[in-house]
């Protein structure tokens, strides 16, 4: 069962209130076949813990890695994954679609 947006964003709030650095990743655009719809969220804390889903598989591992950088620098990133991109197979998005994920620091 997938978590609701309230569960996911509530976890981000809990981590932030505990004094942890937190980032939120949001699917902002999809093309073709995509595993999660626009508006799907993944929250990540400074320790690399995460909750929610923006895609599944290795894409989420890449998003977590980028989110840790966003937490450290405070600079948001727009990530794109797709089958035409050489990172698609490495990142696990081989379904033929593309997704754009916006990652921003909370607070």
Contact predicate 53/21, CB 8 Å? no
Give the pLDDT band of residue 97 (cuts 50, 70, 90): confident
The pTM for the full model equals 0.85
In the chain, % helix, strand, coil (3-state, to 5) comes to 35, 30, 35
Q: Give the separation between CA 72 and CA 80, rounded to whole angstroms.
A: 20
Q: Is the confidence at residue 85, as pLDDT, over 90?
A: no
Instruction: Give residue for tokens 């964003």.
Output: 9
* pLDDT single digits (tens) 5-64: 789 999 999 999 999 999 999 999 998 878 889 999 999 999 999 999 998 777 899 999
Q: Give the separation between CA 64 and CA 27, rounded to whole angstroms.
A: 14
Q: Give the separation between CA 52 and CA 63, rounded to whole angstroms.
A: 12
């Amino acid at each position: 069962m997938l978590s609701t947006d309230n569960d996911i964003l509530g976890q981000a709030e809990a981590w932030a209130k505990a004094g942890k650095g937190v980032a939120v990743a949001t699917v902002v655009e999809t093309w073709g076949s995509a595993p999660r719809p626009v508006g799907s969220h993944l929250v990540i804390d400074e320790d690399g813990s995460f909750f929610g889903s923006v895609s599944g598989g290795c894409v989420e591992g890449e998003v977590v890695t980028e989110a840790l950088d966003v937490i450290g620098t405070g600079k948001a990133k727009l990530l794109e994954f797709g089958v035409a991109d050489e990172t698609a197979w490495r990142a696990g998005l081989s379904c033929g679609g593309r997704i754009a994920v916006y990652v921003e620091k909370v607070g």
